[in-house]
Amino acid sequence: MLRNYSNSRTLGENIRLGTLTAFTAGTINIASLLIFLSFTSNVTGHYAILAAEISQGNWTQVGVVAGWIFLFFFGGFVANMSVINLNKKSKYFAHAFPIILEILCLLAVGIYGQFYYEKTLQETEMLVALMLFATGLQNGLTASISNFSVKTTHLTGTTTDLGILVSMFTQKRFRKNPELIARAKLLSSIMVAYVLGAVFSGLTYYNLEFRVFYVISFCLLIVIGYDFYKINLRHFQTEYRYYKIYHKPTLIAFLYYKIHNKEEKRTTSRTTAKPKLAFNED
């Protein structure tokens, strides 16, 4: 889900990334609405509130709402900075780092809310700000690595795009276009996952309360853990193929044989200067 970048991504990778992150975004948004009476997965409503506070001259609230909007913006900025600057060192870490930051932010909200939250206005504003930064990280990352194909923290653009696609499908020539069909599948999966996350949050909040943020963090761990597993599995397979060709013992090959209860072949000669290919043996 996180390894590939931009146009090299497949539809399946985008759908997996979109559904899991949209589910968490829906869960976050409803949890923040129930707890803080504020949406935190997008800033569309906050721009309206900002304008209203400016017109009324409530400059303290103007500063608070402007800070919220900036933190959502800053989350997207940090996410893309990670992608473009750390990509050369480790593509996986560059893409996983914003998700790790988001998990830390959500855990901080959950722990503080569960043990220390006294429902003061200042605490509420601080926790909403932290959640907006977290969702900004998520939206910036998914948009950046998918070439702006996946945006999961709000459904305004998704609903608009899906409406346009459905209207195009009224003509036969568009119904046979594989790119449009793939786009519709992606947008539909994001929309359904977001709604399911919101419903899940609404049903479980009264039992879990702030612990719902631990569930969200676990979902995000699945996102970064999936690629970690795939990368290490591929490394395992590469090491095993290397052993099969060159008969050079490695730790990975040894573990493979232990797991599969196979006898390890031992090289007959350890004095050769160059490795001997298996297909050259008599």
185 and 267 belong to one structural domain = no
193 and 103 belong to one structural domain = yes
275 and 186 belong to one structural domain = no
User: Which residues make Cβ contacts (< 8 Å) with residue 237, sequence separation at least 6?
Assistant: none
pLDDT digits (tens, 9 = 90+) for 42-53: 898 899 999 999
Residue at 132: amino acid letter: L
> pLDDT confidence of 239, banded at 50, 70, 90?
low
Asked whether residue 228 is domain-assigned, the answer is no
DSSP secondary structure, the chain, as one string: --SS-GGG--HHHHHHHHHHHHHHHHHHHHHHHHHHSS--S--HHHHHHHHHHHHHT-HHHHHHHHHHHHHHHHHHHHHHHHHHHHTTT-HHHHHHHHHHHHHHHHHHHHHHHHHT----HHHHHHHHHHHHHHHHHHHHHHHHHTTT----S--HHHHHHHHHHHHHTTSHHHHT-HHHHHHHHHHHHHHHHHHHHHHHHHHHHHHHGGGHHHHHHHHHHHHHHHHHHHHHHHHHHHHHHHHHHH----HHHHHHHHHHT-PPP--S-S--SSPPPGGG--
23 and 89 belong to one structural domain = yes
> pLDDT confidence of 276, banded at 50, 70, 90?
very low
Cα separation, 68 vs 148, in Å, equals 23
Q: Is the per-residue pLDDT at 68 higher than 90?
A: yes
Residue 270 structural domain? 238-280
Asked whether residue 64 is domain-assigned, the answer is yes
Asked whether residue 30 is domain-assigned, the answer is yes
Residue 22 belongs to domain with CATH number: 1.20.1250
Asked whether residue 129 is domain-assigned, the answer is yes
**What is the C-alpha R_g of the chain?**
24
pLDDT at 277: 43
265 and 157 belong to one structural domain = no
Tokens of 205: 């909040």
pLDDT digits (tens, 9 = 90+) for 123-180: 999 999 999 999 999 999 888 888 777 888 888 888 999 999 999 999 988 988 999 9
Asked whether residue 49 is domain-assigned, the answer is yes
186 and 272 belong to one structural domain = no
Domain count for the chain, please give it.
2
60 and 137 belong to one structural domain = yes
pLDDT at 42: 86
Tokens of 151: 């945006």
Residue at 77: amino acid letter: F
Cα separation, 67 vs 59, in Å, equals 12
251 and 206 belong to one structural domain = no
The listed range with the strongest mean pLDDT (87-96, 120-129, 240-249, 253-262) is 120-129
User: Which residues make Cβ contacts (< 8 Å) with residue 257, sequence separation at least 6?
Assistant: 263, 264
Q: Is the per-residue pLDDT at 85 higher than 50?
A: yes
pLDDT digits (tens, 9 = 90+) for 218-238: 989 888 887 776 665 555 555
36 and 80 belong to one structural domain = yes
Cα separation, 123 vs 126, in Å, equals 5
176 and 213 belong to one structural domain = yes
Asked whether residue 231 is domain-assigned, the answer is no
280 burial type by CB count under 10 A (0-12 exposed, 13-18 middle, 19+ buried): exposed
209 and 253 belong to one structural domain = no
179 and 152 belong to one structural domain = yes
Asked whether residue 1 is domain-assigned, the answer is no
Asked whether residue 52 is domain-assigned, the answer is yes
